[in-house]
Amino acid sequence: MTLTILPAIDLKGGQCVRLRQGRADDVTVYSADPVDMALHWQAEGGDYLHVVDLDGAFEGRPVHVEVIQRMVEALTIPVEVGGGLRTDEDIERILDTGVDRVILGTRAYASPATLAPLVERFGPRLVVGIDARDGQVQVQGWTETTAMQATDLAARMGAMGVQTIIYTDTARDGMLEGVNAEAMAAMCDATSGHVIASGGVSSVADIQALTALQRPNLVGAIVGKALYEKRVTIAAMKGLA
């Protein structure tokens, strides 16, 4: 079982940043040139680029469309984008940049009935991001914690035909404390679709822990701060170094 490694780029104010646990007031800037950073992660062996428009997530609309367009045009690896995609028009706008797939979060929780026609229309290009703290779904850029269990939302999305779910343990995100393997196993068991792990992936041991779950639908891992802080390399996570 081999996991796809997805280096992450979070966009805020036109720069590449990382937040601790999604807090907008706890920001570290790593690069002022997102395109250059995207090319760097591609050269380092990234299989797929994960991009989050943080300003979009907080404002409820895409903010970095032009930057995303330039990143897509510069790369040969596929790109997925999330953050602030609340309307059909926003989804189409981002897909028109040439990204491989878009990620819906808040909308999947708040308006699940509106997803059915989108799933039918876009198929595998539509991904649902489920962000949770202590197993409970968080929305609106992680500023609101709901009463819904993440596994329940995953089951609902799977029944609707959503083919890929990105599951983020927000308490672990940016903390370099390792993955929540138990929660990830439960997420994989809740849906027959593909699952990508996010939050806390910071070492080769984390990749090994995810692989050891032996969940065939666990297909990838998103890595952010650990790469920027040089705690690990993409090559090492892929078993190449």
Catalytic residues: 10, 131
Q: Are 32 and 15 in contact (CB under 8 A)?
A: yes
Give the largest Cα separation in the chain, rounded: 46
Rounded distance between C-alpha atoms, residue 155 and residue 133, angstroms: 18
Please write down the HEC assignment for all residues of the chain: CCCEEEEEEEEECCEEEEECCCCCCCEEEEECCHHHHHHHHHHCCCCCEEEEEHHHHHHCCCCCHHHHHHHHHHCCCCEEEECCCCCHHHHHHHHCCCCCEEEECHHHHHCHHHHHHHHHHHHHHEEEEEEEECCEEEECCCCEEEEEEHHHHHHHHHHHCCCEEEEEECCCCCCCCCCCHHHHHHHHHHCCCEEEEECCCCCHHHHHHHHHCCCCCEEEEEECHHHHCCCCCHHHHCCCC
Q: For 96, what's the count of Cα atoms within 13 Å in the CB-facing half-sphere? A: 9
